[in-house]
Amino acid sequence: MNKVAIVGTGQTKFSKDDSDIEKLLFESSSKCIQSMNDCDSKDIDGVLVSTNNNSKYLGAILSETMGIQPKISHSIEHLCSSGTNAIISAYAYISSGLSDVILVSGVESATNPGQILEWDKSRGALEHPIYWGSMLTKSHKRKFQTTEEELAIVSAKNHKQAMDNPFAYSNEARTISEVMNSKQITDDLRILDCSRSCSGSSSILLASEERAKILSEQPIWITGIGQKTTSASFTKNILEEIESTRIAANLAYKMAKIEAKNIDVAEVHDAFSVCELMAISELGITSNEKSGEFVRNLFNTENRMINPRGGLIGAGHPLGATGISQTIEITNQLQNKSNKRQISNTKTGLIHNMSAAGTSSSIMVLQN
Amino acid sequence: MTFFEEQLEQGIFQICYCRKCNYTIWPPKEICHKCYSKSDWKKSTNIGKILEFSKKASMYFGLIEIDNGIRILGDISSTSTPKIGQSVRMNVSFNSKPNYSFIVENN
């Protein structure tokens, strides 16, 4: 397999306002191409679009708008982890030699009706994510004695970190007390424990080793990939576990020849506060019992190791763009370009992106 | 509408299972997930137990397991705080989407 690197990135600001998806795609893609030294549209031979929007033929539409006539072009949908799925597909095209340089662009509009999983009849009328979010939270509190304050710290930390992310939908600080006293959605969820649906777009350019060395002075290499889908129905989950994340992480670590202790920085899928605690446990960074304490320590010491851009809770969650924005953050961290968010001496970073209550997970390991 | 949905509309929860390997297919499908044989139907006992619960406004909701390990999200009617493992009876209906509600037994 050929090596694959990330060589360019571009993002729009996330927003709760509705927005035209073609316009957003064009904006982030243009920024992505402009982020490179000398990239011509003729160099790009693949265009993939990740979205849950029902619009058709977006790969070809974006290609035409950008003046690209690619060999490979199509859309990719996998609910909340569409973005990393698209990047991993691009990786596969390049590493196999079918393509050399691929633009991956993710997009969502805040009001898109395609975000609800209608297929899952086991959810009945309770199809909104807050219902499974409440079940996971209640279960975590009971089984691991996780406190409401520990859950609130996840949100306070991620809001604080998002203040230094110019692309986040909100740049407001939220104290632990503000989170704990925010609007109650259910007995186990407050509004500030939830990530918000947003409009936004993120784009990334991937290249083969040969092309990467021409296109970028600081290529960031994708060295580990793991994916696992356990079902399409939330109700099949064991409530205190995210099995798909554990399996995908082990696959990615094996491929990258690393262990959890080697991770310097990680973007994890905090759809709800409890998801961050569960994710860092399943990734092997800490244990379920100690996850609340681990995050409290990060918050108290201003250590941005987990979700430096503010996660989904702080930055917002435009489904098709989220996985790409997570990947851009880890890329910038490894390039030492994260400004106020920068963590020192990063060598290895991880992206954790998941769908539908963790029934599917994608993990990538990046190294500089 | 599917057979499953028509039955829900009449207040009946049909369990989909494989005639050949007896595997319970949930959510229901015409073909078995394990051996790809044709599936069949049998009526649920409509009795289950609470695996987890929470509350939205004044209504409890939760994850319930009914016969053969079928897990369902739905509203829970209870005059007091539900308990994990508590027995519930399921009522079903269909109005553009399935609706499941559970009543705590001996409430």
Could you tell me if A137 and A77 lie in one domain? no
At B102, give phi and psi (nearest 5°).
-130, 135
Quote the pLDDT of residue A116: 73
A213 and A281 belong to one structural domain = no
Cβ of residue B100 closer than 8 Å to a chain A Cβ: yes
Does residue A122 sit within a domain?
no
Mean pLDDT value of segment A280-294: 97
Taking the Cβ of residue B79 and every Cβ of chain A, the question of whether any pair is shorter than 8 Å is answered with no
Identify the domain containing residue A68 by its residue range: 4-111+198-221
A 174-203: CB under 8 A from B:
185-189
- The answer to whether residues B16 and B39 belong to one domain is yes
pLDDT band at B107 (very low <50, low <70, confident <90, very high): low
In this prediction, the answer to ipTM > 0.90 reads: yes
Task: State in Å, rounded, how far the first CA of chain A is from the last one.
Answer: 19
Rounded to an integer, what distance in angstroms lies between the CA atom of residue A82 and that of residue A260?
Answer: 24
Is B73 a residue whose pLDDT tops 60?
A: yes
Would an 8 Å CB–CB cutoff place B97 in contact with chain A?
yes
- Average pLDDT of chain B to the nearest whole number: 94
| A114–chain B nearest CA distance, Å | 16
- Residue A237's SS3 state is coil
The rounded distance, in Å, linking the Cα atoms of A191 and A194 is 6
Q: Which candidate, A261, A344, A364, A360, places its Cα nearest to that of A303?
A: A344
CA distance A238 to chain B (A): 10
Beta-carbon separation of A121 and B61 below 8 A: no
B63 close contact with A: CB closer than 8 A:
yes
Would residue A116 count as lying in a domain?
A: no
Per-residue model confidence (pLDDT) at position B63: 96
Angle at which helix A273-282 crosses helix A129-144, to 10 degrees, equals: 60
Domain identity same for A152 and A61: no
Q: How confident is the model at residue A31 (pLDDT cuts 50, 70, 90)?
A: very high
CB-CB under 8 Å, B61 with A126: yes
Tell whether A168 and A78 lie within a shared domain: no
Give yes or no: residues B32 and B60 share one domain. Answer: no
B51 and B99 assigned to the same domain = yes
Alpha helices in A10-120 (DSSP H): 21-34, 58-65, 82-95
Out of A131, A142, A234, the one facing B61 most closely (by C-beta) is A131
**Could you give the C-alpha distances from A329 to A29, A137, A192, A263, in angstroms and in order?**
16, 27, 22, 14
**Residue A242 counted as domain residue:** yes
**What pLDDT is stored for residue A113 in this prediction?**
66
- The predicted-structure confidence for A132-150, as pLDDT tens digits, reads as follows 999 999 999 999 999 999 9
Categorize the per-residue pLDDT at A112 as very low, low, confident or very high, splitting at 50, 70 and 90.
confident
Check whether residue A252 and residue A279 sit in a common domain: yes
Q: Is A119 on the interface with B (CB under 8 A)?
A: yes
Residue A210 and residue A230 in one domain:
no
- Specify whether B37 is located in the same domain as B54: no
Tell me what the mean pLDDT of segment A285-293 comes to. Answer: 97
Same domain membership, residue B97 and residue B56: yes
Domain count, chain B: 2
Answer yes or no: is pLDDT of A70 > 70.
Answer: yes
For residues B77 and B60, membership in a common domain is answered with yes
In a shared domain, residues B77 and B89: yes
Residues B53 and B99 in one domain: yes
* Same-domain status, A90 and A151: no
Statement to judge: residues B38 and B52 lie in one domain: no
Same domain, B53 and B83: yes
Q: What is the number of structural domains in chain A?
A: 2
CB contact under 8 A, B74 and A126: yes
Instruction: Give the CATH number for residue A160.
Output: 3.40.47.10
Please provide residue A199's backbone torsions phi and psi, each rounded to the nearest 5 degrees. -95, 145
Domain range for residue B27? 3-43
Q: Is residue B56 located within the same domain as residue B95?
A: yes
Q: Are residues A304 and A229 in the same domain?
A: yes
Chain A residues close to B99, C-beta within 8 Å: 124-125
- Whether A120 is covered by a domain: the verdict is no
CB spacing of A122 vs B62 below 8 angstroms:
no
Mean pLDDT of A48-67: 95
Within-domain flag for A118: no
> In this structure, is residue A341 part of a structural domain?
yes
In a shared domain, residues A307 and A274: yes
Average pLDDT, chain A: 95
Query: Are residues B16 and B38 part of one domain?
Result: yes
Q: What is the mean pLDDT of residues A177-202?
A: 96
Residues A97 and A151 reside in one and the same domain: no
Please state the φ and ψ torsions of residue A145, each to the nearest 5 degrees: 55, 30
Whether residues A183 and A35 share a domain: the answer is no
Which of B5, B73, B93 would best serve as a mutation to test chain A binding (most A beta carbons within 10 A)?
B73
- Is A132 in the B-facing interface, judged by CB distances under 8 Å? yes
Best residue in A117, A120, A135 to probe B by mutation, most B CBs within 10 Å?
A135
Q: Is the pLDDT of residue B37 over 70?
A: yes
Task: Tell me, yes or no, whether A134 and A30 share the same domain.
Answer: no
Q: How many residue pairs bridge chain A and chain B with CB atoms within 8 Å of each other? A: 70
Which residues does chain B have within 8 Å of residue A134's beta carbon, measured at their own beta carbons?
54, 56, 61
Burial of A296 (0-12, 13-18, 19+ CB in 10 A): middle
